[in-house]
Chains A and B, each alone.
Chain A
Amino acid sequence: MHPSQSANVSKAYLLSRCRLGAIGLFALLSAQALVLAPLAWAEATATGTETGDASCYVEGLADRLKCGFITVAENPDKPAGRQIDIHYAVLPAIKQSHPGEALLAIAGGPGQSAIDNAANFDRIFTKVRQQRDILLIDQRGTGRSHPLNCDSDPTLEPLALDDTALNIGAEAGRCLAKLDADVTQYGSLQALADFELVRRKLGYDKLHLYGISYGTRMAQLYMRRYPEHLASVTLDGVVPMQQSVLAIAGAIDRAFELLLRDCRETRACQAQFPALADDLTLVETRLAKAPNLSQSRDPLTGEPTPLTMTLGKFLGAIRMALYMPNTRALLPHAIHEAARENYQPILGLYALTLDGAGMAMGMHASVVCGEDMQRLTPALKARTRASRIGRDMLDGLGQTCAVWRVPAASADFAEPIASDLPTLVLSGELDPATPPSWGELALARLTHAKHFIAPHATHGVAFQSCGNNLVAQLVESASLEDLDPDCLSKDVRRSFYLNASTVETIPASAGKQTAAAAPAKEQP
């Protein structure tokens, strides 16, 4: 089966849950945000010995996986201190032809669980798995590995809440107090050491890396620190080491513009929404003045609820919808309706973002506060503040990081990666998080790298196109020689929704037709 995005509408969602920082940074890769509740740790024999392996199951995947964990010191400098378990899961190769190799797929976020996304990785890496194990590790602070979750205050009602009035610093403080962890120990470098220990324990000589979104940072660190254990690397939606992820604000603006451009250049969309840019500006201006207050229904329960539509919620919903081609297709209609003061489509999209896709926000803050926040240059800070969502993002993170107090990563952390490993860099032209220019940046000192840009993909090229086949080819040959990016250009665009029901051009007669007459008339 040709893998690509799942049946579910949405995929990558970030933490636009307002509590902590109000913003998610990198996108993550959870496919099933729309359908699935947070995934349960379904384990056949959950607890084993310290090194014991057990078979287990994860949601969405019928296969029996091999699961286990290693126990490490939370702080490597205090080996006798708090111990944490780093869990992993192996999707066993169908036919084990390369027992010394595995594909390590690294999830995004930061804060997402790789194991929770096993079904998605399994789907796109079907070919890889035919002959090699796929290794998933819940990075420290995520999933099952001592997660730093920040549960929201249950008294806060997200629909009614005015997030502009939220005290993010206090929320962060409340979360920190509840965590049984030294949050300074949950950065990428500590996690990298865990990954290497897992590799050694499982006895793989060589890993093929696949990093998506924030996962590309882990992959690049792996390239820098343990290149001798790598056979190939794929960076999908890459965050180059030189780049603070906070530059995402510019990428989001760019994605908004691309959306407006695509609608303008599509005949049906242009005909249906001839003034979409104006519509967007109108709503932004209106909501900037004051949130829109109305009575609505809870999207899930159907209970009546007051809805406070703020600019932050409006832009956040659009931003998250831009991650996936299928939700992106609904945006012109949603924006147009908002301009007509109908916020139902926006409410629907916003509701999709509410469970944060199982992100561990505490771990997210540990990474971003230590590795990105403190290297913002004044110029980037100014640019970010001028962007659509940059101000809220910076304010929120500023308050969170003040509480989190993670020391800044050393200056050489941001050095470009120098490597001669075969490295495939994939970017989606429409990516609202890691635009193609970031991929170019990542190439700076990679001597055996190719950068392919998928013109119709958003974030996570391997999930939306033939990119996954290119990864399989790279893994099989450990060489970039024969990779052909042509298939990435295949026209797989999704048509924009023209009303709440259809993506196909609405026939002139359809609107006027009575329901009863239509079928009879159209049957040949």
Chain B
Amino acid sequence: MIRVSNLTKHIGEVQALADLSFDAANGQITGLLGPNGAGKTTCLRTLFGLLTPDSGTAEIDGIDVAKDPLGAKQQLGLFPDPFGLYERLTPREYISYFAELSGMGRAEARDATARVITRLHLQDIADRRCKGFSQGQRMKTALAQAIVHQPSNIILDEPTRGLDVMSTRLLRDILKDLRDQGHCVLFSSHVMQEVAALCDKVIVMAGGKVVAVGSPAALCRQTGKDSLEEAFIQLIGTDEGIAA
């Protein structure tokens, strides 16, 4: 469960977030949709405490990130963009490293790593170094890292960028799985199809604030358009920065 209330943030001269507020509930996939420069990444970084907001709060499972960053991050899994792989480590080493950093013991981390490797069908590459991996292999490794410690909240930053069809499908299945298990899944994207196919709830952002909130169908209804894409363009008032 993620809650953002009245976040504002300036980066240099630019106002990145302007009084941003939204919720992402457990058992739901929430999509953060917006054109490039809408403030999606800034928003996510703020959730991880990497950026300090000028005002407003970010809460993870009710824990204020600014007040107890470690406690808040304990409940988070991050699928970053870019992935941030260590090329000289194998996926198994990489995943279990982050599992331990998320608070698991060594043995516990090892077991959890083995489980997530099976789950994501990573067995054949699990003990090869990451250097030279395909985009799909990288995505799976990064995803495994994000979910290995079974966080209640999983945040994905542009997860499908550069993925092939098979990988995208796999990702979708996993995210749905996580949702069905009651996790709160929040992902940012500017890809319409993704959002349409996956999200229970879409938060449309532009210029650092929420423009509209609702299920894809509700948004279509609200704008009177047939497709989410049309609805989106209608909502943000431009087609700049949209990918089909």
Check A-B contact in the complex, CB < 8 A.
Answer: no
B-side residues, CB < 8 A to A, are: none
